[in-house]
Amino acid sequence: MYLPEHFAETDAAALQRLIADHPLGMLVTHGSDGLDADHLPFEFDPAAGACGVLSAHVARANPLWQRCHSGTSVLVVFRGADGYVSPSWYPSKHETHRQVPTWNYTVVHVHGTLTVRDDERFVRGVVARLTRRHEAGEPVPWKMGDSAPDYIDSMLRNIVGIEVAVTRLVGKAKLSQNKDARDRLGAAEALQARGHDALAQAMRAAR
C-alpha cells in the first residue's frame, strides 16, 4: 500500500477501533491459481498473541481452508469510512482554482499467518461470539439456543473455523491532512451535508 507519511495511521487504538467498527474483512490469499479474496466477518482479539488474533469461519464448501494450509501468509483488509471529495468544497479553489478531485478513506491492512481450525468447539465459539455482538442491538437478540440443537449442529458441521495470527497492522487515514485547515474543514462540512457523517468527523479530527 502506498503510504505517504502524512496519511500513516500508527495509533494502535485507532486501528483496533476501525476493525471493530467495520468487521467485514477482505481476506486475500495466494495459491496455485493466483490471488483470491474472501469477504468474512471477523472477531478481533487484540490481546491475543504478539499483535492480536482474528477469528472467522468459512463454508466447508469453500476451497479456501484446503487450498491454504496452516502457516500460510495472508492479508486481511478492513475498510472504514470513504467518500469522493470535490475540489469545489475547498474555499481556496474559488480563489486560486488550483485544486483537483480526490477520494478520502480510512483502511487497515492486517498481515498475518493463517491457521485452519476444523473443530466443532472452536467453530461454535466463534459463531456464538459473533452472534452475541451483532445481535446486541436487536430488541430480542437471536441466539443459537432459539433453534433446535440438531439443526444448529448440522449448520456447524457445514462450516470451518480459521484464525489469523497478526504479525503487523498497517493503517492509512487519507483525510486531507495535506490541505490547509480551512480546506479540510470545508470539505468535511460538504461531506456531512451529503450524509457522510463518519468521514466528516474523521476529517475534522485529523491532524
CB 187 within 8 A of CB 69: no
**Rounded Cα gap, residues 196 and 181, in angstroms:** 19
pTM metric for this prediction: 0.93
In a domain, 170, yes or no: yes
Measured distance CA(187)–CA(106) in Å, rounded: 16
Task: Print the domain residue range for 135.
Answer: 5-80+104-178
Establish if 199 belongs to a structural domain.
Answer: no
**Structural domain count of the chain:** 1
User: What CATH number is associated with residue 143?
Assistant: 2.30.110.10
**Residue 52 is assigned to a structural domain of this protein:** yes
Q: Over its length of 207 residues, how does the chain's per-residue pLDDT go in tens digits?
A: 999 999 999 999 999 999 999 999 999 999 888 999 999 999 999 999 889 999 999 999 999 999 998 999 999 999 999 999 999 999 987 888 888 999 999 999 999 999 999 999 999 999 999 999 999 999 999 999 999 999 999 999 999 999 999 999 999 999 999 999 999 999 999 999 999 999 999 999 987
Quote the CA–CA distance of 124 and 55 in Å, as a whole number: 12
Q: In this structure, is residue 186 part of a structural domain?
A: no
**Could you tell me if residue 133 is inside a domain?**
yes
